[in-house]
Chain A
Amino acid sequence: MADAPKRTPLYDLHVELGGKMVDFAGWEMPVQYPMGIMGEHKQCREKAALFDVSHMGQVILRGENVGEKLETICPQAFKALKEGKARYGFFTNEQGGIMDDLIVANAGDHFFAVVNASMRHQDIPHMAKHLDGVEVTELFDRALVAVQGPKAEDVVGTLCPAARDLKFMETILGEINGVECRISRLGYTGEDGYEISIPEDKASDIARAFLADENCEPAGLGARDSLRLEAGLCLYGNDIDNDTSPIEASLIWAIQKRRREEGGFPGADRIQREIAEGTERKLVGIKPEGRAPARHGVEVQSTDGENIGVITSGGFGPTAGCPVAMGYVITAHSAPGTKINLLIRGKAQAAEIVSLPFVQQNYKR
């Protein structure tokens, strides 16, 4: 029997705001509020939106040479990660597949990691097992709130002026209404913004303080998904998983030069070989020509009707104003501009390979 879904410290606030609650990875989360997914999505692109991402796993890594030890399970250059900086990364398996993706920050006297809700049960023991001499502590008493959008700097900066000075992928401890929070300038929407780790008993007060700003509205998982898709960002379990390599997933940008050359991480054989020789298939952007959205699992065909791949994420892009999708196709068919067909409910629908992202990323570099 599945356990009853868990609730985040913001559950009561979601219900009060009219959130439509659904079970997501064992958590009772708002998929949307009365504004609707379309409106919440545009709110985030145009002003600022607040997302509860407390279901994600927040982890403290404390010990000697944490960055160096992380390099034994991740292909990122964490040894060189400076204090106050965060970096996107992933755990690889021995076959060169992706076990999960995560954010790692150097918080000075410790490292701070955020992992996917659905993979907490795997990632925490994985780190505890492989990071010798590192104390791995999952935080169960903190909320995580994302404030994203072009007005996020104003919304967060009004309550914490120091947040204004952060650049993309920088993190600090800052005070918000007298409460010490970890404020990181990053997110997963393609927009500028912050993710803020807050003690659970203060989370609702601080979320309300952000929402009191006329430019900030709550947004749910629905908008979060359409935002990350338009921004060309992978969703673990859909676009990347144990069977996809980071090279196939076009995530080579997240493997720093030294690590590409030196290896020394699980699956390095395959990943280094793929860097040198290329891959048989590749994750690409796909734009249907008609209005029918192509969703996860839709078969991709060449214009000759040959099966060449599959859609891994797809839906309607509210900012793009059309259906948008990502999927794997055989590399020979992966060049932007290549005409393809999508088999939607048994009918071939015309589409085209396009460059990602669908909407320009808007980070504060």
Chain B
Amino acid sequence: MTTYYSEEHEWMTVEGDIATLGITAHAAEQLGEIVYVEQKEAGDTFGKGDEIGVVESVKAASEIYAPVNGEVVEANEVLTDSPATLNEGAEGDGWLYKIKLTDQSQLNDLMDLDAYKAFIG
């Protein structure tokens, strides 16, 4: 099990061809208190860079862009009624999706934790 990070402040923990995807604690903190999360549904497919959801804080709406190609296996329904879960556990209970990876080679473009830490300074 390896965790990858994107420059769009997403994390992805990969097991085989299934990944759990969320936004980083750093991103959640920057967004502020989250009041609404709009998600794709199971079965939706997407390409790297596609918008796959919207996270809204009190202040503003922020789009989530896919770090890789894939298909939604499961959207975290907890976020529908408790969007604040994203603030409380962005890299835990506040995950956004379980996805099926369709191009494993794209993982090479992502960062590991040390690189991400350096990236956010």
Contact = CB atoms under 8 A, between A and B. Distances in A.
A226 interface: yes
Interface in B13-47: 32-33, 35-36, 38
A37 B58 contact: yes
Contacts of B88: none
Contact of B58 (A291, A292, A315, A345): A315
A134 to B, nearest CB: 40
Contacts of B57: 37
Interface string B40-76: 0000000000000010111111000000000000000
Interface string A293-305: 1010000000000
Contacts, number: 41
Contacts of A36: 32-33
Contacts of A38: 33, 58
B56 A293 contact: yes
A352 B15 CA distance: 45
Interface size band for A: 10 to 19
Interface residues of B, number: 14
A321 to B, nearest CB: 10
B59 A37 contact: yes
B36 A345 contact: no
A334 interface: no
B59 A222 contact: yes
B94 interface: no
A95 to B, nearest CB: 33
Contacts of A73: none
Nearest to B63: A345
- Nearest 4 Cβ contacts at the A-B interface: A316-B35, A37-B58, A38-B33, A291-B36
12 contacts: A31-B59, A32-B59, A37-B57, A38-B58, A41-B58, A222-B58, A226-B58, A291-B35, A291-B36, A292-B36, A315-B58, A316-B56
Interface of B: 32-33, 35-36, 38, 54, 56-61, 80, 83
